[in-house]
Chains A and B, each alone.
Chain A
């Protein structure tokens, strides 16, 4: 039997509510972390996964306290340890990489200096040895030319590189246990794949045990030997990674896996109803009861216990797991979306270019924008009424920038935006009349930011109704209730504030507000990225339903290719503000592809241990698009040479009507991609 590094025993952590009730965040958690294994803890926000990870290094967040149980490390209970003793363990024996660790680096200190500090604090190395060690660590996290990196400042590194530095610092004390809290969340798909691959390598190379916390089953699938699924503060399923992902025997995990969009499947996955109960609102019965498709009468009032199944080496908390054991191959079914768009063109962007460059005084005076290498350039897209067109690309590729110009929030440098074939829309709000503003509405990524925290749901939805239609009194109220119904929220939500709603509910309110204007076009900017996986599918299904009912056109921005696959009719791939590939969804996801599309497709993390990401190009981030030639030349693994550097590639059109912008002839492009 392998050695156990950390033993969590009957751990309960909670807080006292204003009314003095004890509210549990973690309920009776027991698990062991073995030497050299990587354990993935997965759950939606609020399920207690971070609290558990923190407790594993003896830390309980301010406002929370340990109600019972222990976290045993080297046969002593971390939760009862004095701070002085904990300091000796943290960083040396147990290291943690928090979310956005890269951004948490001290901005005005060189990378090398910060790693040296970590070494001084967490190792006994002498000065000469430390110098050596810094290079070694930077090498280990595969940063190119460690000597130069050590002299750089954090802001001179890309997000992925910063994350690598954070990993290097965590490794400074040669820890036995490495805790990672959402280490790749917020990074680009391509970067994410690279960082995960690095973590896998480090786990093997150093034999460090890792606890990897994430809401993303795709990421967890790539690194974990074992997976713990948390729900509402409890472990509901725990077992070997492959079994959990391939044959999940708990209804929550089963439903979750079914609701995640997959690259290989076009169409909307089934959604899971409802949302996770808030801590303290659970009283009796199984906490998953409200959302469970397998529930029985007894689940309502009896809480299932975690049961260990010897033959599967799996623990499960469900009365009914046996019925899942028989047919639990996750056969995903999707609702095929109807291609419902008409031939009529509703929006046309032609030769649109947008620049963020600070303008010289002369240009300001002449009210013009001059920039020979603008952030966004050469955008030609024509959008049909009722279609969903997706813009995909890494962060910084100009997706939001284009949306802003369409919404009139950002002046274009050049080009024309035309609505309904003949009406030219100014990219300046002040030059649009109210009706031009009404026909285009926005839904944002994060409903916490897009809903005014001081307004009730009623006030939020009333805004467009009052502004555009001058509604008042009873009629206004009736319309609000109507809209709430359309987004499947009851009337009683009217008087709630955004903070009293769950993430999915908030996003529904934002959707209702957009539809209140009766728009023709809705711009969706990463609308599901901030949502939990289990509610993402529900919001996507809702958007699709509303679109079919109202004939709305969506411009759907996302970095998640699987989500895009699920909902869009057509896809446009952007790199550095230039289009690379535009075509019907099904064709963009098939070869031949633009080399950049190939990189994006390869990097997608699927919740399947057998599908490994393919890392085609480096995850460097380019500050600026190249002056001339192909926008992707800096990272393209198939670059042809001077022609790519000097000449803008031509559009090539495949048989199925997919346009690809590359110098490589289509036939040859396809050859290598099929392998």
Chain B
């Protein structure tokens, strides 16, 4: 609440600011749940190679489609691989690729948006048209094209995803910049004769940063869903690397009699998306930003 700001005193260190934001986020039930899920997944991604009970690619025809048991907690898949092992490992690639993808989206989307908001006029119109035109191509088709031309390596996927998911960020950054630009403190800086760089860095970025970060966090969960869809279609992670999208795709024909092989990756994927989503939402609320974009799930 605004009135409370009156009682805040003195400048805080960046560390203090960040921890205050995190505490505020966690003090809401939804934020707490979101943060816990996200942290759980991140930790899991780091430690899963060390705690995985079996080799994720060890095929064993004799153990095909075993129901969950004490030995194979989540059962086995159609090639006799341990579903638990593959599930705890299955988020690593997606998480890494989409994390860096989001960073790229943030970077180009944020910078281009700020630029457009700053220059305005014709240049802004033209750039936005181009961005719109580019992105009106169904992204999945474009991704398929890119992937089939350049392959599915990380070096291709990260920038490609980053590019496609930057659009929303361009819009948000542009709108936020537009709002700030009209303020007298920018006029004041201009009239003093500060360089454009100094105006962007000192006056604009501190005021649009929050909005852009929140949008970036939101885009992350969208991107995760998108990336998993790619894997599902066979254009993301290539076998035998475990990946939830791929696992769902492989096992979906077996759903009626081997539900376990598909439920575990679904739970993994959806919980991560929900976790990021809730976190982004709580992040926005903690920063006092009103978001209207809907979550992907």
Which A residues fall within an 8 A CB radius of B? 15, 17-19, 23, 63, 278-280, 407-409, 429, 432, 434, 437-438, 440-442, 444-446, 449-456, 463-464, 467-468, 495-497, 499-500, 513, 517
Contacts and interface: CB of A to CB of B under 8 A. Distances in A.
A437 B189 CA distance: 11
Contacts of B270: none
A307 B187 CA distance: 51
Interface in B1-31: 1, 3-11
B192 A278 contact: no
29 contacts: A17-B3, A17-B4, A63-B1, A280-B7, A409-B187, A409-B190, A429-B193, A432-B193, A437-B192, A440-B191, A441-B191, A442-B187, A444-B187, A445-B184, A446-B184, A450-B184, A450-B185, A453-B207, A454-B206, A454-B207, A455-B206, A456-B11, A463-B192, A463-B194, A467-B193, A496-B9, A499-B6, A500-B5, A500-B8
Given A63-B1, A452-B206, A495 B11 contact: yes
Interface string B197-235: 000001100110000000000000000000000000000
Contacts of B183: 449-450
A63 B5 CA distance: 14
B208 to A, nearest CB: 10
B1 A15 contact: yes
Contact of B192 (A23, A279, A495, A517): A517
Contacts, number: 85
Nearest to B198: A467
Contacts of A453: 207
Question: Which of B5, B7, B206 has the most A CB atoms < 10 Å from its CB?
Answer: B7
Given A23-B3, A63-B1, A449-B183, A429 B10 contact: no
B155 to A, nearest CB: 36
B6 A442 contact: no
A351 to B, nearest CB: 23
A17 B7 contact: yes
A467 B194 contact: yes
B188 interface: yes
A407 B191 contact: yes
Interface in B169-185: 183-185
Nearest to A434: B193
Question: Which of B3, B192, B206, B207 has the most A CB atoms < 10 Å from its CB?
Answer: B192
Given A63-B1, A452-B206, A467 B192 contact: yes
A347 to B, nearest CB: 15
A499 B5 CA distance: 7
Contacts of A451: 185
Contacts of A23: 3
Given A495-B11, A500-B8, A500-B9, A444 B192 contact: no
A432 B203 CA distance: 22
Nearest to B191: A407
Nearest to A436: B193
Interface of B: 1, 3-11, 183-185, 187-194, 202-203, 206-207
Question: Per DSSP, are chain B's interface residues mostly helix, strand or loop, or mixed?
Answer: helix
A456 B4 CA distance: 18
Contacts of B206: 452, 454-455
A55 B10 CA distance: 35
Nearest to A453: B207
B8 A442 contact: no
Nearest to B186: A452
Nearest to A449: B184
Contact of B191 (A15, A279, A408, A496): A408
A444 B188 contact: yes
A117 B183 CA distance: 37
Contacts of A15: 1, 3
B205 to A, nearest CB: 9
Given A279-B3, A454-B207, A409 B191 contact: yes
A455 B11 CA distance: 10
A468 B191 CA distance: 13
B14 to A, nearest CB: 13
3 nearest CB pairs, A to B: A454-B206, A437-B193, A450-B184
A454 B206 CA distance: 6
Contacts of A432: 193
B192 A441 contact: yes
A151 B64 CA distance: 77
Contacts of B3: 15, 17, 23, 63, 279
A518 to B, nearest CB: 12
Nearest to B122: A364
A437 B194 CA distance: 10
A316 B42 CA distance: 65
A386 to B, nearest CB: 22
B5 to A, nearest CB: 5
B209 to A, nearest CB: 9
A278 B9 CA distance: 14
Nearest to A435: B193
A500 B6 CA distance: 5
Nearest to A497: B11
Contacts of A437: 191-193
Contacts of A280: 6-7
A196 B227 CA distance: 64
A409 B8 CA distance: 36
A442 B203 CA distance: 17
Nearest to A25: B3
B116 to A, nearest CB: 20
Contacts of B185: 449-452
A367 to B, nearest CB: 15
Contact of B10 (A454, A468, A495, A499): A495
B286 to A, nearest CB: 13
A48 to B, nearest CB: 12
Contacts of A409: 187, 190-191
Nearest to B3: A15
Contacts of B6: 278-280, 499-500
A432 B190 CA distance: 12
Given A280-B6, A449-B184, A513-B188, 18 more contacts: A17-B4, A17-B7, A18-B7, A437-B191, A437-B193, A438-B193, A441-B191, A444-B188, A449-B185, A450-B183, A452-B202, A453-B207, A463-B192, A463-B194, A463-B202, A468-B192, A499-B5, A500-B6
A468 B11 CA distance: 26
A119 B7 CA distance: 45
A444 B184 contact: yes
Contacts of A441: 191-192
Question: Which of B6, B9, B194, B207 has the most A CB atoms < 10 Å from its CB?
Answer: B6
B188 A442 contact: yes
A498 to B, nearest CB: 9
A455 B183 CA distance: 14
Contact of A452 (B1, B10, B190, B207): B207
Nearest to A513: B188
A463 B189 contact: yes
Contacts of A434: 193
Contacts of B184: 444-446, 449-450
B100 to A, nearest CB: 28
Contacts of A468: 192
Contact of A429 (B5, B9, B191, B207): B191
A445 B187 CA distance: 13
B193 A450 contact: no
B93 to A, nearest CB: 37
Contacts of A407: 191
A18 B11 contact: no
Contacts of A452: 185, 202-203, 206-207
A451 B8 CA distance: 18
B186 to A, nearest CB: 8
A437 B192 CA distance: 6
A573 B4 CA distance: 43
Nearest to B11: A495
Contacts of A463: 189, 192, 194, 202
Contacts of A438: 192-193
Contacts of B190: 409, 429
